[in-house]
Structure formats: structure tokens, C-alpha cells
Amino acid sequence: MKIALLLLLLPLAAQATPCPDWPASRAKSELAALSQQIAEWDDAYHNQGRSLVADEIYDQARERLQSWHQCFPTARPALPDPLAGSTGSIAHPVPQTGLRKLNDAAVAEWINNRSDLWIQPKVDGVAVTLVYRRGLLQQAISRGDGRLGQDWTARARQLPAIPTRLQEPLDAVLQGELYWRLDAHVQGRDGGAGARGKVAGLMARQALDKQQASAIGLFVWDWPDGPANMPERLQALQKLGFADSLHYTQPLQGAKDARRWRQRWFDEPQPFASDGVVLRQGTRPPGERWQTEAPHWAIAWKYPAGQALAVVQAVDFSIGRTGRITPILRLQPVDLDERRISRVAIGSLQTWEKLDIRPGDQVAIRLAGLTIPRLDQVIWRSPERAAVRAPDPNRYHALSCWRLSGECQQQFQARLNWLAGKQGLNLPGVGPGTWSTLMAGQKLEGLLDWLALDSEHLQQLPGIGPRRASQLQQAFAQAQQRSLQQWLQALGAPPGLKLGAEDDWATLLARGHAEWMQQPGMSQKSAERLVAFFSHPEVQRLGTQLQEAGTVGFQSQENSPRG
């Protein structure tokens, strides 16, 4: 629960990150900016009932702030209190404790050193204390700081999930979670679904309508002064009307059993969102001994984060074969679903310009399709805006960079990669590494200069011996046997070009816009692209080069073997 974060210890699984290399003045401004951002999130969540950022991102941001504070202890006197302004004045009869969050190895060790263990889902909602006297609801108290909370009694009486009268006329203090009811929610598929924020927002209102009130459920996770052992406690809760406590509290036989329940609740439909599991010992001290700190008898084992908070170290730009510029964020490595992520691409130069992401900014990353990292959102920006020089988009397009130069290296190599790949000439054993070696050895200036390289020239390059030189020569020879259609595709002709039986290189060069428009299925835009391609001086030069090299596809019809 976010409102318990002040009391939670940092996860043992949090990966160690190096201290930033900042002078004291920058450290002071960076910590101040992040502290202010977290304070704004806290105020919106606790005092306005609005969740401005995903809970797991909030947790990671607060951990990062604490890490920075340890790196620069004099930069800021104290960490911001997440509960500032939200504590309230109503005392909890029994303090609400926080929970330590442990990683897999620490959980196994914790289990192995204890007996009488039970597991529950860590329901993702807002914590509440319910006070009954002689079976009647007397008070509902928000968690606050665990010692003092706000009076939620009036709103609690509107919720059907909270009985105003128990089945038995007894005194009881119950601690539980108010959650947003979901239909067949699968945590592994659906994530948090914003459920916690919805409940927090409704509980911040003065009144709820019937539909809103019915959408809030209650999961009682403890009865501090109930029966001493867990089975009796669960049976008693069921008799009082809290059946979920019995259903969702399961005995554990060991670490393997705990993993099984954790995975099951992650994969199977549930009526609520959850962000992990809670492991408890059945017996624990009486409520009068509880304190607002993480106890020794219960821990949290959270699910893998669906998002990771990453520091942007640099902004690179990749220029593709067609001249498309793709910004790439170079990140301080983060772990996400057992993958280490150090780079993430942004869709377009326009998107990057709109987001204005600079080194030092913090971004949320998630996996698309469980494999491809993608930018989810910018979480906050560094107060120091580092300069980033982006390529000029007017310099690059589908007909630029046919020759190697400093500005053209990326697009030029992308053209070579396409040319040799499966979508082009499909040359065996020729790939990006091959072209990098040839360019580093200054053997390539134009796109087809490799056609003139013999074994002696190739063996002058690092890593290319007689055997490798022979393999490359054989592959290059195969290129000269490829058809005109394959070559045009490899050179990057506009998509949709289909050659007729009588089409040859000379025919294509002579064809004008009107003639292209006579081709079946040809659009105005496609015809314009084809005219631009075949009339471009570099394309024509490459065609002449291929003709002179004896490439089969570039011989005229009357000179071809079929003529």
C-alpha cells in the first residue's frame, strides 16, 4: 500500500546503482526536484484521492531518492514524509504495521526459519481499521501514518461490503483492505488497472452513489485481538461475515508451496488487483504490542514490476535505410521481467521533440509483448537540461546517402544491410559485421564498391583470411546472378514495383509519370516515387555500375541469354 511506504523497508531485490557523478550544487538541485515531485504525488494521492503515477513507479522513485540521499547526505536534510497532511487525528486502537518487501532468496530463507506459516494475496487497495462495539460499527479509520488516521466512518457506512452489524455482538478491531471490484482480473495480464487510485478517490469524497459504493469490496487481512491461532481466527471471521479471509488465506508447507500460490494468484482470475502476496505466521503478539513498523511475523513478496524507472544517460539517433530518424534512449541498466534493459527506442523524432527527453531525465519503461522494451512515460525531468544535438530531418530521406561520409554512415550501412539481407539479395555469410569491416578498412565509398574487391584486397582487412575471403567472393559472385526484380528491391526501389516480362533497366529508366500511371494498381503517389527513384543520378550511376560488372539482371533484353 502506497500509504504505508514510509514504514516499509527497501526491497532486498533493489539492484545497486552507482552514485551519480554530480557536483554538490547539482546534487542539491536534483534531490530537491525529485523530493518536490514525490511530494506532489503524495498530496494528490492522500489529500485529493488521485493517483498521478503507477504505484510501482512511485515505489521505485522513492527508493531512488533514498539512494541519492545516501550518496549525498548533505544535499538535503531529510526525505519528504509521504503522509504529510494526510495523517488525521483519529488514533488506531491497534497500530497498523508496515511490511518488509523481500526478494525470492530472502523469502525462502524467511520461510525456512519459521513454522505455522500462511499466505494471502497482497490486495491492492487502501487500508482501513474497523472498530466494532457490541457488534455495531463504531469507527472506520484510514491508515494515515499507522498510528493516526482520518475518520472514514460516514463513508464506510455507505459501503455494502462493510457490515454495520456483525453476526455476533462482540467487540472487535479489524484491519483490512478496501479494494475496487474487478471482473475476472488476471494480475499477470491486466496489471494494477488503476484499481487502488479509484478506491482512494472515492474514499476522499463526502458521499458515494449506490453504484460507486457497491464497487468497493473489503478484504480483512487481520484481527489483532481475535483467536490466537490462525484456523480459529479464520473460522470466526467467516462467521462474522468475512468469508474472503478464509478463502484467501492458505497454509504453507514450505517455499515451494509459497511459489505455487503466488504464481496461481498471479495467473488466475481474481475479483481484485494485487501486487504480490503476504506471508504470515499464524501466531503473533497480541495487538497491544503492535507498533507502526515492519513486524517480524509477516513479510511481503511482491510480483515482478511491470514497469521500471530508468535514468536516461544519453539520447542517440539511429538513421535507417529510408532516412527515418529514430531516437534511442541510452539508459542506466534496469531489470524488467528478468531482462536487463539498457536502450529503448522512441517512435519518431517528432515524438522525442514533443517529450523533450534529455540526459538525467527519469522515464518509465515496460515490455511490449513481453520482449520489446518501450517508453511508457516521462516521470520527471532533470532540472539541468543537457544539450542534445539531433540530426537534421531535412538531410535524410529515401534517396539520400548512397555514398559513405561522416553524416551518412548510419543510413549508408543500413542500405548495405538491407541489400545483403533476406529482403534483398540474400547473400550467404554477408551481414552488418561484414560491411563494418569493409568500411573500417576504407574499402567502401559507394554502395557497390565491394563488387570490385578481389581476394588480395579482402585479406588486407583484420579478421579476413584466405578462407573468409573466398567465402565473400563466392557470395559477391552470387549477387551478379540475381534478377532485376531482386536487385531493385535490394537497392530500395519504392514498394509495389512489379516488373513485366518485357521490362528491363533501360525501359524503367525511360518510363515517365504517365506511363507509370498506366501500370495496374498504380497510385499517383507511387508513380511519383518511382519516377523520383529511377531519375535519381545515384540510382542511375549504380545501374551503370551493375551493367559494366556484367550483372545478369541489368543486361538489356536483346543482349540477355534469352534474347
Q: Cα–Cα–Cα angle for 364, 368, 374, nearest 5°? A: 40
Q: Kind and range of the H or E element at 280?
A: strand 274-281
Euclidean distance between CA atoms 519 and 528, whole angstroms: 13
Euclidean distance between CA atoms 462 and 145, whole angstroms: 66
Let me know: does 259 contact 280? Beta carbons within 8 Å.
no
Euclidean distance between CA atoms 562 and 502, whole angstroms: 12
Q: What are the angstrom distances between the C-alpha of 516 and each of 271, 397, 534? A: 61, 22, 11
Among residues 122, 256, 302, 354, the one annotated as catalytic is 122
- The partner residues of 276 in beta bridges, in order of sequence, read 302
Query: What is the length of the chain?
Result: 563
- Alpha helices (H) in 421-502, listed in sequence order: 432-440, 455-458, 466-479, 484-491
Q: What are the angstrom distances between the C-alpha of 457 and each of 409, 454, 472? A: 22, 5, 12
Cα Rg of the chain, angstroms: 33
- Alpha helices (H) in 268-394, listed in sequence order: 349-355
Euclidean distance between CA atoms 70 and 518, whole angstroms: 72
* Beta-carbon-side half-sphere exposure of residue 115 (alpha carbons within 13 Å): 0
Q: Give me the DSSP letters along 50-103.
A: ---S-HHHHHHHHHHHHHHHHHSTTT-SSPPPTTTTT--SEEPSSPPP--EE--
- Cβ density class 163-173: b for 16+ within 10 Å, e for less: beebeeeeebb
Q: Give me the DSSP letters along 309-342.
A: EEEEEEEEEEE-TT--EEEEEEEEEEEETTEEEE
| Phi/psi at 97 (5° precision) | -85, 155
**DSSP assignment, residue 15?**
P
Q: Is 101 a catalytic residue?
A: no
Burial (CB count <10 Å: 0-12, 13-18, 19+), residue 467: exposed
- Cβ density class 388-423: b for 16+ within 10 Å, e for less: beebeeeebebbbbbebeeebebbbbbbbbbbbeee
- The residues carrying an active-site annotation are 122
